[in-house]
Structure 1
Amino acid sequence: MVNNGRIYCTAIFLLALAIFASGCIKNFEEESNIIITDTELSADKVTSSFVDINVTTYILHTSGVQKNDTSLELKVFDSNTDFLKSRKVIDIGHIKEGEKSSVSQSIRLPREGTYRVEFMLSDGNKTKSTAEIYLSGLERLKTDVQEIGIGIDSMDFLVRKVVGNNVVIETDVYLTNSGSLATEDYKMLVKAREMDARLIADKVWTTTGLIGPEETVVRSVNLTVPDNYNYVVEVLIWKDNVLVKRGEDYVQLNPQKVIDKNKTVESKDIVTSDFIVETPTMPGEMPAYNETPYEGTQTPGFGSGLAIISLIAAFFIFRRRSV
């Protein structure tokens, strides 16, 4: 009986120990509870066509054991079409129990439209918390002063006229509107600066005009500069009294080249009049009148026929006086 009692007590003790141990193991292996507590959105950059939004997500590890690194997935959907506009996943790493963490992401969205932003917080392959917010009214945000949506792509230069020692250069400026809305009409200053002395040879004010979405236009001005110098042609675009865009290109009417191994530099003689380009005409239009450039070294004189008549008249007058 004693042995049976001991065996019975031992069995009960082992059973109780097993139950207690299993409870400890269960508590020890309790899964983590990680939640999204808050989200913040702010506009980092506002242009005429898009907005860069900074999204900050706050995360709290309330309890449990985190077995894997935490990751946050952010998806942006068009509210009208449910099309996915953007998707980003960022690893947060390990968060201690009871601690808070935050993570920031940047998304770029068109100004027009409404959007649904979804957040999904995961511990390994298990989703721990989700959140959702809606965005609208981005088109009402004020555009940053320096952002007008216009890019200066390139410039072309044509010689229109040579007058004495001056050259008339037509400057074509290529402007592109990269936005989804038409631009405003901005002031534009085009000027030619001599490379060495940095003196301004000529400058002309004009405007960009209204440029449609994703369109490229050409704005042309004539600059009159002294021949045989090299120039930097600068384009400055102004919004009210603020300079918002700058570009430049080069016109070398006195280029140079290296002619030997000792780096001897020789100026290349450019006959500017050889590059005069006539204004092209559209089909059905009359060709433009082509003016003959006035050469400063030439002296205006009579034509050959008029000169002969003048000599004959002078001869008769001389004979009459002699008689």
Structure 2
Amino acid sequence: MEKNALLAGGAVVVVVAAVATALLVPGVLADPADEGPVRPGPVDVADVSIAAGPATGETVTLAVETRIDHRGNPTNNVSVLVRAVDADSGLLTTTKRISVGNVSRDGEVTAGTNVTVPREGGYDVEVVLYRDAERVDERRKSVRGVSAIKPPYLQSTTSFTESEALPPVSFSITDAGEDRTTMNLMATLTNTGDNPAENLEVTFVLRQAESNIVASRTTVDAGAIQAGRTETVEASATVPNDYNYYIDAVLLRDGVVIDTARGAANLNPTRTISVNQTTEDVELRVEDFEDDDSGPRMTDQPEATHTESSAPGFGALAALVALVASALVARRWTK
């Protein structure tokens, strides 16, 4: 009887100790619903978009936005690596890493960053998605024509027109002299913006087509061009005759070139040039383009002279003697 009582007391002690341990030490008893460590939910790159940001004369900033798709359990330590690779050389230009952190909700999460690259050529933008330093997805997009992204000082709503009916550069003859011709130069500008364009100037440069010698240069104020309007700017230039010229028009705002256009003036009727090419070479008289106080001028050419001369000892008497000698020699041979 005592033995049974002793065993029963020991069992009670064991049960009490087990209950106390379970209460005092959490986690000793396993939860039957516990399936072990939680597996992180999948993440991948849903889309990548690139927009042009601020630009300078040398660089341009690309705004890269990455949309990350997430489903299932929370995912920790998500990050994005953005790389810009030169499309021509394949060299890495710049790298940027974005920390997204922990992603718990289902749907898309956006991660944005800016990368600055030289304002030339094109780039392949690579986006690599990481989870706990493990690469899980990547996406690539190409950007071309980065040089077309202009800094603020080059941006303008005003430019030369592009129309056959209203050419950007034209001219008319106002005075055709014996040696020199005076032309009225015209450049046509259009403001396609919503505000007036001001502080504009147009520089006309006339260059002899074959030699590239500048025969005339003049700058005129273009005034203010109202929104949506087309205006013509005029200037005068005097150049030597019998040459063909390219007429280059340069549009400037506060000393910055914002547009250019070209025309052609054929003052040599035997040869013609177009804006893109010439047909043949011509003889050039550099003195026609010499400068003085009044600009390029023509110089007088001395008339060519022809002088006849005879060698000494060959007059009429010498010719007669030679004729007689020839007759005597011929008579001798006939005998």
Shorter-chain TM-score tier: 0.3 to 0.5
When normalised by structure 2's length, the TM-score is 0.40
When normalised by structure 1's length, the TM-score is 0.42
